[in-house]
Chains A and B, each alone.
Chain A
Amino acid sequence: MAAAMVLLPGENIPTERLPKPKKGKLTLGPGLQHTPPSTISATTAGSLQVDHRKAALWLEDAGGRYQPSVGDLVIAQIHHSSVETYSCALTPHTSFAILGQLAFEGVSKKTRPQLKAADIVYARVSKASKWEDVEIECFNSATGKAEGMGQLKGGMVFDVRPAFARRLMMGTDKEGVSKGGVVLLEEVGGKVKFEVAVGRNGKVWVDSGSVRETVMIGQLLRGADEGGWDVEGQRKAVKKALRDV
């Protein structure tokens, strides 16, 4: 296994690193760009990850900047509302994302959602491009169901890095091992009841019954994100925190 290769923006990937696809097609993930006929170059800085089985390449980026892409689940904060839309902030440094007032489950022109400035919603990115405003929606436009999206009430929002949020959302593979290497929430969930929503833009919403438990979960998230704990470290930290509560 060759050492992980770190690429800077603009560098080309040497051909010996490219996996040999069975069907002759390579899948490019985030951070890579294809210039025909056969050059693949990096657009951001990160370490190159290769999956030979699926013939896929992408760049893992530990940076703090979130770039919206279609299909991402995000936690957006409403900044102001206009006639037909809400303007929401995904991150403090980018322009507002547009959320249509009718993009919710079960609303019509007569019954609109009652959202005010500074409320937060769990939404999915429906349109993301460099030249247009980002658009988000709070329901699945194909089925018309909310699927967990919509306004988040109560609880607390914690800031994490977007790369950590992505690891939190990776889920588990066939053997039940967490793919992202983050077992925090599952371990805590064994003893404490809470609801959680993870936004790919670096926000995690947690609502447990008690303030003390929510604060504890927030501290564990921050520790794992900034301290870079591995699975063992996370388990130890969770045990210690549960003892103190």
Chain B
Amino acid sequence: MPHATRPSTNESAFVLSALRENLRLDSRALDQYRPISLKFSSDPDVYGQTDVRMGKTRVICNVSCEVITPYSDRKFDGVFNINCELSPLIGAGVEIGRPDQAELLLSRLLEKSIRRSNALDTESLCIIAGQKCFHVRADLHVLDHDGSILDACCLALVAALQHFRRPDYEVHGEQVTVFDVREREPVKLTLQHQPFCVTTSYYDAGTIMVQDATLLEEQCREGEIVVSMNRHGEVCQIAKYGGVPVDALSVLSVVKQSWEKVKMMDSVVREALSKDERERDKGGRMKAELSAENERVMERPVG
């Protein structure tokens, strides 16, 4: 029967003694992230699909939307859902439908970082108050687990939300026309800010802080602190669920370290988005067609 693997006593003792000498098994620095690869769907009609790799960890995210009736107690808001389930794909001992504590924490932290911080403005999803709104749903699938799945999930989700385009619509009185992608160019979502999650694992009662832990390092750690913030330094949430107690000054220094990492992740996403836009718009033809400017012909002045 597949059972969850625990590292052997030799492995956990070795990882700890290596960290005490400032060494990690893949020769990274203690606060160094693995190279992050972010890819979008190569299909030109598909928006909002991302594939993120951090070392061996791999996460894909798909954002889609449909038109529904809004909730009666929130007439002016659209609906935004995040769905993240772990499957036996990622390793033995994980079952669908029976979430263990790690999976519940993953969903809860994603909700807090992205939904409760209003990263996606739900009021912008409203079409006619009380009658029609957009329901945006994000589905995350973890394909490979080698640590840091929360960081990878959050990055995949934020990148997908920035990439996604919803159908354009027109309202005439009570009548709504939602245009197909072939009739009108779809429109980007309104994101108020882009939050990212940084997980810091600690050992030896908080004296050793490690970022982007691999699966083995995560299994040997004494606890973790998850900080969600955006590149402006605004903190969305700080979570420390259990684990060995850590003093408050260490938590503050973790938040400061996380800010640097968030800026790094934000630049990765921006670069990937602009590269994707250039590729979808080869030769600049789309921009030229959609632009309302006339070409100005330079003539020599008279006289």
Contacts and interface: CB of A to CB of B under 8 A. Distances in A.
A155 B92 contact: no
Contact of A212 (B7, B13, B21): B21
The contact size tier of chain B is: 20 to 34
A218 B10 contact: no
Given A79-B3, A92-B93, A211-B21, A119 B9 contact: yes
A95 B92 CA distance: 12
Interface string A126-166: 00000000000000000000000000111111000000000
Contacts of A212: 21, 23
A79 B6 CA distance: 9
8 contacts: A118-B6, A118-B7, A118-B9, A118-B12, A154-B14, A211-B14, A211-B17, A214-B14
Interface residues of A, number: 23
Nearest to B14: A156
Contacts of A109: none
A154 B27 contact: no
Nearest to A76: B8
Given A157-B10, A219-B25, 13 more contacts: A79-B3, A89-B3, A92-B3, A92-B5, A92-B93, A118-B8, A156-B14, A157-B11, A205-B10, A211-B18, A212-B23, A215-B23, A215-B25
B91 interface: yes
Nearest to A212: B23
* Interface pairs A-B: 7 shortest CB-CB: A92-B92, A156-B14, A92-B5, A120-B8, A118-B9, A211-B18, A93-B2
B10 A89 contact: no
Interface of A: 77, 79, 89, 92-93, 95, 116, 118-120, 152-157, 205, 211-212, 214-215, 218-219
Nearest to B21: A211
A154 B13 CA distance: 8
Interface of A is mostly: mixed
Interface of B: 1-14, 17-18, 21, 23, 25-27, 91-93
Contacts of A118: 6-9, 12
B1 A215 contact: no
Contacts of B5: 89, 92
Contacts of B93: 92
Contacts of A214: 14
A77 B10 CA distance: 10
Contact of A218 (B2, B9, B25): B25
A154 B16 CA distance: 12
B110 to A, nearest CB: 27
A152 B23 contact: no
A155 B18 CA distance: 11
A120 B3 CA distance: 17
A79 to B, nearest CB: 7
A198 B12 CA distance: 19
Contacts of A153: 10
Contacts of B27: 215, 219
A79 B92 CA distance: 15
Residue among A116, A119, A155, A156 having the largest count of chain B Cβ atoms under 10 Å: A156
Nearest to B12: A118
